[in-house]
Structure 1
Amino acid sequence: MTVAIVPMRHNSERVPGKNYRPLAGIPLYHHVVRTLSSVPEIDLIVIDTDSDVIFEDCAEYFPHVRLLRRPEHLRDGSIAMNDVLLNTLEQVEADLVLQTHSTNPFLKADTLSAALKLFNRCESAFDSVFSVTRLQARLWDAANRPVNHDPSILLRTQDLEPLFIENSCFFIFTPTLLRERGTRIGANPFMVEMDPLEAIDIDTEEDFSLAIAIADQGGSRA
């Protein structure tokens, strides 16, 4: 069974109420649940939350979603996500897990479907899949040292060796990997590159404003 897990906290320090704040006329988390619901490879969607608001709203609009009440000791924002996921998997039977977030409203069902098919087809070749965004820019560290370029040569940015940002849009892994290694990304992962627009993550008020602007221009599938 392939299970999609979406952890959601009621409170957010930087963007209060963001998981259920309206975006394009519906609560933010509705976007990712709608997306997951249209992925044929996903057998079950699970929301792990401490939010009464989400519990009540989800039960009304998405009765096919399984809701889990997050225990008190896992509700602090400093708790590692892997600990939250381990708790979820103690309550849900799964052969394969796709974990995503409510804060990725432009994530596409086709992207998730292709990634799941890839893992199922090539499981012997790699032990996990995660999403990334390409970065080709001149980077410097805090000590004013170039990280990925030689200032005396000054290559064009498009000619630099690309680096990849773990954008947290999705992770695909087995429960065994998480339990044995304590991580969603294994020793031999596969990176799925995403378009920066699709990979937008809402982490600040500015991010939410950007998402609203994109949705207003037709970027949302709501």
Structure 2
Amino acid sequence: MSTVAIITARGGSKRIPRKNIRPFLGKPIIAYVIDAALQSNLFDEVMVSTDDEEIAAIAQQYGAVVPFLRQSKTSGDHASTIDVLLEVLDEYELIGRTYESLCCLYPTAPFITSQLLKTSYELLLEKQVDIVYPLQQFSFPIQRAFKLNSGIITWADPNSFLLRSQDLEPMYHDTGQFYWFNVNPLRQHQRLANLTAGGIVIDEMHAHDIDTEDDWQIAEFKYRLLHNMHSYD
């Protein structure tokens, strides 16, 4: 089966400027993702979709390809990941290359490993789903959530407060690291809502969403612990 890794790395990050190539424990954070994709040996091509020449140069330095730059319509704040993936597939078709499956990887996900990519790809094939998500379990039962309105709280689900926490069904959220897709359903539906989905569960030490400076520091701390690295700061 022909596969492509698409690492989505536009240049206009706002909350952490230039975060897609910011040094993470000594090397650009995108390099960790490129390394994992290359080491998995799953892909016919590991490419970076970017509108930024500096990001493109760093991606190529670490072994990815950048066969074309992202168009302006998919470089703004309101372009979706699906828009970017479809653009990449269209650009490849123009040069006569098609893929049966793709993995969309986010460039600020240094906890991705080649083994995780392999395991999730096997799930895509085994379950014959359209998409596979990496998931984490919520650490607190979300059925016991409160709503807050002008200082007054109400229960989101009053019945759940009558149950023991161990009797509540575990709930999960997307880790925001990567997604495996079967290309044909993605092209057909062009949205996530109508895709059959599978999930692989990741523990809290092996994923961390990075949106703020605090997130960045916590992610580096966790990475050091996982890899037995010392800090000399």
TM-score clears 0.5: yes
CA contact (8 A) 1:10 1:19 kept: yes
CA contact (8 A) 2:30 2:59 kept: no
SS in 1 for 2:13: coil
Structure 1 or 2: more helix by fraction: 2
The 3 A distance-change label for structure 1 pair 217 and 30 is same
1:216 CA drift (Å): 3.4
Question: What are the equivalent positions in structure 2 for 1:11-160 lying under 5 Å apart?
Answer: 11-62=12-63, 64-92=64-92, 93-123=98-128, 126-135=129-138, 136-137=140-141, 138-142=144-148, 144-147=153-156, 150=159, 152-153=161-162, 155-156=164-165, 158-160=166-168
1:91 positional shift: 1.8
TM-score (norm 2): 0.84
Larger CA Rg, structure 1 vs 2 = 2
Structure 1 unmatched ranges of 5 or more? none
Name the CA distance, whole Å, in 2 between partners of 1:152 and 1:36: 44
Which is bigger in relative contact order (C-alpha 8 A, separation at least 6)? 1
Shift in Å, 1:191? 1.5
- C-alpha deviation, 1:89, in angstroms: 0.7
Distance change (3 Å), C-alpha of 1:218 and 1:196:
closer
- The alignment's C-alpha RMSD in Å is 2.2
Counterpart for residue 95 of structure 2: none
Output the CA distance in 2 between the equivalents of 1:133 and 1:25. Answer: 27
1:199 aligns with 2:207: yes
Helix, strand or coil: the match of 1:171? Answer: strand
Q: Is this contact kept in 2: 1:119–1:128, CA < 8 A?
A: yes
- How many residue pairs get aligned? The number is 217
Structure 1 CA distance for aligned equivalents of residues 193 and 113 of structure 2: 21
Amino acid at match of 1:134: Q
SS of aligned partner of 1:97: strand
Q: Secondary structure at the match of 2:109?
A: coil
Paired residues of 2:34 and 2:62 also in contact (CA < 8 A): no
Cα distance 1:19–1:67, how it changes in 2: closer, same or farther (>3 A)?
farther
Deviates more, 1:31-40 or 1:53-62: 53-62
- In 2 relative to 1, CA 19–71 (structure 1 residues): closer, same or farther, beyond 3 Å? same
Give structure 2 stretches of 5+ with no counterpart: 93-97
Q: How high is the sequence identity, in percent, across the aligned residues?
A: 25
